[in-house]
Structure 1
Amino acid sequence: MLITTAGSLAQAADDSAEIKKFCMASVTGAMSQAGLTLPEGMGDFTCSCFSKEMNGKGIAFIIQAQKICKERAAEKYEPLLKTQ
């Protein structure tokens, strides 16, 4: 049982790292496409939010999680956004 639990924890960590990697690429790309400079911390904030929103909910909730976290990041970081 401990092996399964340890294996599950390791898999969850791998999944979380992959989700964050995908998310950071998405955030960076969206900001670049919009001609904006990503403020320090905004990518981590947005992707941590996304990871928490997705936790255990499955793929059907991706769009909902993206919407929630984009709104939260915009509220927090909008004053720091600068055009390139």
Structure 2
Amino acid sequence: MLITTTGSIAQAADDSEEIKKLCMAGFNAAMSQAGQTPPEGMGDFTCSCFAREMKGIAFIMQAQTICKELAAEKYGPLMKTQ
């Protein structure tokens, strides 16, 4: 049983990392398309939030909305237009 649990934890960590990688690709593309340079750490913050929310609620649109709002609150004043 311990091996199964450990395997499940390891799989969840792998899934979370994959979600973060995909999120970062989307984040970078969105920033580039918008002609914006995000502040240092904004992408990681947003995508870590997204991966965490996906575990909790498992609804992509809700996770996106929650994390975009949190990132805008934290980093909005630091955004630069290219």
**TM-score, normalising length: structure 2:** 0.93
Q: Which runs of 4+ in 1 moved over 6 A?
A: none
RMSD of equivalent CA atoms: 1.0
Per-residue deviation, residues 23-64 of structure 1 (Å, max 9, x unmatched): 111111111100000210101110111112111433xx1001
Query: Counterpart of 1:36?
Result: 36
Aligned residue for 1:55, secondary structure, equals helix
Query: Counterpart of 1:80?
Result: 78
Q: Distance in 1 between matches of 2:10 and 2:65?
A: 28
Query: Counterpart of 1:54?
Result: 54
- In structure 2, list runs of 5 or more residues that go unmatched: none
Aligned residues: 82
**TM-score, normalising length: structure 1:** 0.91
